[in-house]
Structure formats: structure tokens, C-alpha cells
């Protein structure tokens, strides 16, 4: 199992001060697998995926991404970050750079790509997220949905093997959620390995290979979407589903 895993978390523990935010988390993700993580707020789901590209440091256990173990070794961290793209709830575009510059910056400076090549790449990525006409605007001039799609394009430009999504639609107006989810569905159909923290259950049902439900820092349930939604095992999961599906 672990040999074909591209991401492997074993007995991962983490504390914020005295708060035990991740408790013995174990997760194996295979290549091209699409995982949707859900759970109530404060359950540690964001912290877990932020540990995978070391935006947060885990204190116990091991995390191996594409054969590289995440330790204090800075070179390993850099190598993992080149493999793993991340999309944030708040988009986090660079406001002082145009859309095109946002996308070309990392390829030029981290991958040493020539500028013209990086610009072509940026335009290709913008085509994929369906906003090539916004290339020369600044992030502040775009709608939330457009900004989030630029953020996805920016991550994809580094040609990652794995994409992490940390509540990508939670900061969006309802009518913009679909345009972002559409891009994510395309990406999933293209065979990207994805871990998505989201409350969009419709999206989960369409693309997820596996659902992961977290509560109080633990993984409570892991199941196929079909089983997860129709026949969940734990009472906590049932309660959670009844609450969010009633909305």
C-alpha cells in the first residue's frame, strides 16, 4: 500500500500550544486519487493539508510526499513544495503584480524558465481556467471567482504532481462558486492527485474517490462517497451530514 502511495501520513501529531490539533492522523493517498476532506471547523482539516507542504510543522510522526520525508531539512521542504501546489481560501494573489506576473514569477525565479517561455505557459494556464483576457489586469480588479481561478493557474504553472485545496470556495459569493468548481472538476478529470478541504458536497459526490471525515483532530471516518453519504458508520458523521445537508 505505502509503496504506491504518493502521500503518506503516519501517526502525525501536532499541538498549537496546549491544543492537540492533530491526533495520530494516518492517511495514505495514491497517485491520481481525489480525496475530499470535510468536518466541522476546528477539526484540524486545514492544519492537516498545510502539514503536507510544511506550511505547518508536525511535531510527531512522519509525512512522506513523493518519496521525500518532511523533516527540518530545508532542501527536502523546497523539493516537496515544488511537487505540491496549493490553493487558499483567501486566494493570496500578489496584489502588486499583474495576473500574468503572478503566474510567471515562480516559474522564472524558482524553475529558472526563460521569460518568454514562462509567459506562454502563463497564457496556456489562463486558457485552462478560462480567463486569458484578464492577463494584464491586477488582482484587485478581478472578481473573487476570477482571482481564485488565477490562483489555481498560478499553482498549475509550477507543474505540480499534487494539488492541495484549502476551502477554495468558502470566501466566494454563491454565484462564483460554480466557475471555480468547474475548473477543479476539469483538473480532477485530467488525472491530478488532489486533496480538497471543502463543504461543497455536490463537488465531493462528483469527483471524490474517497471521503475523509475529521473531528477534533482525528480522522473519524474514511469511505467511498457512496458509502459516506448513504451509509456512514459513525454517529458523529451522521450528525455532521444531517447538519450540512439540511442547510
Residues within the interface to another protein (CB under 8 A): 53, 55, 78, 81-82, 84-86, 88, 90-98, 105-106, 109-110, 138-144, 147, 151, 154-155, 158
Q: Of 171, 201, 169, which Cα lies nearest the Cα of 184?
A: 169
Instruction: State the Cα–Cα distance between residues 109 and 226, nearest whole angstrom.
Output: 44
Q: For residues 157 and 212, which CB has a smaller minimum distance to another protein in the complex?
A: 157
Q: For residues 53 and 198, which CB has a smaller minimum distance to another protein in the complex?
A: 53
Q: For residues 110 and 239, which CB has a smaller minimum distance to another protein in the complex?
A: 110
**214 and 45 Cβ atoms separated by less than 8 Å:** yes
Instruction: State the Cα–Cα distance between residues 128 and 231, nearest whole angstrom.
Output: 36
- For residue 235, the minimal CB distance to another protein (Å) is 35
Q: For residues 136 and 189, which CB has a smaller minimum distance to another protein in the complex?
A: 136
Q: Where are the beta strands (DSSP E) in 126-240?
A: 162-166, 193-197, 210-215, 218-223
- For residue 73, the minimal CB distance to another protein (Å) is 14
- For residue 83, the minimal CB distance to another protein (Å) is 9
Q: For residues 57 and 226, which CB has a smaller minimum distance to another protein in the complex?
A: 57
Grid coordinates given for 206: 462528483
- For residue 35, the minimal CB distance to another protein (Å) is 18
Give residues with Cβ within 8 angstroms of 194, minimum separation 6.
33, 34, 35, 162, 163, 164, 165, 184, 187, 188, 207
- For residue 79, the minimal CB distance to another protein (Å) is 8
**195 and 167 Cβ atoms separated by less than 8 Å:** no
**204 and 211 Cβ atoms separated by less than 8 Å:** yes
Amino acid at each position: 500500500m505505502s509503496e504506491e502511495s504518493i502521500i503518506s501520513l503516519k501517526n502525525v501529531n501536532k499541538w498549537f500550544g496546549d491544543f492537540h490539533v492533530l491526533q495520530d492522523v494516518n492517511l495514505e493517498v495514491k497517485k491520481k486519487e481525489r480525496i475530499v476532506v470535510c468536518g466541522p471547523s476546528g477539526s484540524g482539516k486545514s492544519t492537516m493539508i498545510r502539514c503536507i507542504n510544511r506550511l505547518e510543522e508536525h511535531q510527531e510522526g512522519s509525512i512522506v510526499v513523493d518519496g521525500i520525508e518532511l523533516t527540518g531539512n530545508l532542501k527536502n521542504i523546497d523539493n516537496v513544495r515544488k511537487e505540491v501546489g496549493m490553493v487558499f481560501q483567501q486566494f493570496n494573489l500578489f496584489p502588486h503584480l499583474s495576473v500574468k506576473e503572478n503566474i510567471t514569477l515562480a516559474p522564472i525565479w524558482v524553475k529558472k524558465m526563460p521569460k518568454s517561455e514562462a509567459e506562454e505557459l502563463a497564457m496556456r494556464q489562463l486558457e485552462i481556467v478560462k480567463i486569458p483576457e484578464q492577463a494584464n489586469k491586477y488582482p484587485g480588479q478581478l472578481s473573487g471567482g476570477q482571482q481564485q481561478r488565477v490562483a489555481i493557474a498560478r499553482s498549475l504553472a509550477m507543474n505540480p504532481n499534487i494539488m492541495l485545496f484549502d476551502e477554495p470556495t468558502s470566501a466566494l459569493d454563491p454565484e462564483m462558486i460554480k466557475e471555480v468548481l468547474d475548473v477543479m472538476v476539469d483538473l480532477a478529470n485530467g488525472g491530478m492527485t488532489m486533496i480538497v478541504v471543502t463543504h461543497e458536497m455536490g463537488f465531493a459526490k462528483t469527483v471524490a474517490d474517497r471521503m475523509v471525515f475529521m473531528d477534533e483532530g482525528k480522522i473519524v471516518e474514511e469511505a467511498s462517497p457512496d458509502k459516506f453519504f448513504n451509509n456512514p458508520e459513525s454517529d458523529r458523521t451522521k450528525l455532521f451530514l444531517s447538519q450540512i445537508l439540511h442547510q
